[in-house]
């Protein structure tokens, strides 16, 4: 391979990014920063680039190329049916130091082969799985996007603490067509590697993101909020469990195994109070048991964990946003057309009408949910 001099990245950023993308499309090697390592990149669509990468890094064993994408949408170029669990973790942890391994269907394998060639496709798969990564370094994601081809980035030993090519071994540095500078990696560990198969998640390698964090984030958490958490929100949570189970055609007790958690809370709730007698009776007639419910105050931790928060009134929503502005984009009034009044003290008939309204609204919301 012809040795290319390392070009300075001190020119205009847009020019550097364009030159890097052009080099990748031309089968050249490019130095790119990530949050865990300074890596050597090439296009998986260019056999000459892969050959140079193997020679430069002295890769002897069967490689398993990691496909680096500019966003979670990049997975869809290859994988036609991404499990909701994988989408959820990608949405929460990308960009970031997480590598996600996904199974390929026969059509997916053919699509990969068309994009990379059959030999490279075989080298990219591990037991029918392909690994994807989305770095949090903006300029690297921009270059991947500009390249328009599948890109892999491989780290080299001992370069976890540098943000540019200057400290790479000279023999490696000389092979780079473009060396893009970046900040020193934020993490000392490599990326965490997980495998997602349907509803199952396996942590294959614990790295920059701890396994306990992964496990905490794998659930879809739906929260219903009212004032005291003894009438409207526990009724809504009970009905939601029933409706979600119907949608998935499973018993409601199996929802946690499908990573679906439903909670209720009150913005002014005292802890430990049972659901209102009328609420228990009305929902019991609808086949929903909330006798074991005990009220709970709405905590910041629950707000952070929640994927969707449904309030009974606009005032509840405004109170939540005032308390935690970052929750605004995931907090909605359950009824977009108006408040759901508190039935407390208004008799069983008022509870029955509230339950019927809640059921209709929740069914409409569940239709929109990706589970």
DSSP track, 5-73: PPBPS-S-HHHHHHHHHHHHHTT-EEEEE-SS-EEEEEETT-HHHHHHHHHHTT--SPP-PPEE-SSGG
Of 133, 141, 232, 317, which residue is the catalytic one? 232
Concerning whether 342 is annotated as a catalytic residue, the answer is: yes
Report residue 108 as tokens.
Answer: 């997916």
343: tokens are: 């039935």
CA distances from 358 to 110, 232, 312, 325 (A): 46, 8, 9, 26
Q: Return the bridge partners of 225, or none.
A: 265, 311
Sign of dihedral through CA atoms 306, 309, 315, 318?
Answer: positive
Rounded distance between C-alpha atoms, residue 70 and residue 140, angstroms: 8
User: Residues 19, 42, 342, 365: which is the catalytic one?
Assistant: 342
Q: Where are the beta strands (DSSP E) in 158-301?
A: 176-179, 192-197, 200-205, 220-226, 260-266
Of 159, 185, 184, give the one whose Cα is nearest residue 172. 159
Answer for the pair 261, 220: CB distance below 8 angstroms, yes or no: yes
Residue with token string 């679906």: 260
Q: Which of 165, 161, 89 has the alpha carbon at shortest distance from 132?
A: 89
| Core vs surface per residue 135-155: b (16+ CB within 10 A) or e | bbbebbbbbbebbebbbbbbb
- Active-site entry in 42, 108, 173, 226: 226
* Degrees to nearest 5, angle at CA 31 with 20 and 64: 105
Catalytic residues: 226, 232, 342
């Amino acid at each position: 391979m012809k040795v290319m001099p390392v070009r300075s990245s001190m020119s205009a950023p847009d020019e550097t990014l364009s030159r890097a993308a052009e080099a990748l499309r031309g089968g050249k090697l490019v130095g790119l920063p990530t949050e865990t390592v300074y890596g050597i990149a090439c296009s998986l669509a260019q056999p000459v680039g892969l050959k140079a990468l193997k020679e430069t890094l002295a890769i002897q064993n069967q490689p398993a190329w990691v496909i680096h994408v500019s966003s979670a949408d990049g997975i869809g170029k290859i994988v036609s049916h991404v499990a909701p669990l994988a989408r959820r973790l990608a949405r929460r942890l990308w960009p970031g130091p997480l590598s996600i391994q996904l199974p390929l269907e026969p059509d997916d394998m053919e699509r990969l082969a068309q994009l990379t060639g059959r030999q490279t496709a075989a080298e990219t798969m591990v037991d029918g799985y392909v690994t994807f990564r989305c770095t949090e370094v903006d300029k690297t994601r921009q270059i991947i996007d500009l390249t328009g081809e599948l890109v892999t980035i491989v780290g080299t030993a001992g370069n976890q603490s540098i943000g540019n090519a200057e400290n790479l071994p000279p023999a490696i540095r000389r092979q780079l067509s473009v060396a893009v500078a970046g900040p020193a990696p934020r993490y000392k560990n490599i990326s965490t590697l997980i495998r997602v198969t349907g509803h199952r998640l396996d942590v294959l390698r614990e790295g920059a993101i701890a396994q306990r964090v992964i496990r905490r984030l794998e659930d879809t958490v739906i929260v219903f909020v009212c004032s005291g958490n003894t009438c409207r929100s526990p009724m809504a949570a009970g009905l939601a469990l029933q409706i979600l189970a119907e949608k998935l055609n499973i018993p409601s007790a199996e929802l946690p195994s499908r990573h679906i958690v439903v909670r209720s809370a009150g913005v002014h709730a005292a802890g430990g109070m049972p659901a209102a007698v009328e609420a228990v009776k009305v929902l019991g007639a609808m086949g929903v048991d909330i006798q074991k419910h005990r009220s709970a105050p709405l905590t910041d931790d629950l707000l952070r964990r929640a994927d969707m928060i449904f309030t009974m009134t606009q005032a509840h929503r405004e109170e939540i946003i005032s308390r935690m502005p970052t929750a605004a984009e995931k907090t909605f009034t359950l009824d977009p057309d108006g408040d759901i009044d508190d039935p407390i003290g208004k008799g069983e008939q008022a509870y029955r009408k509230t339950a019927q309204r809640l059921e209709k609204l929740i069914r409409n919301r569940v239709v929109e949910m990706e589970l």
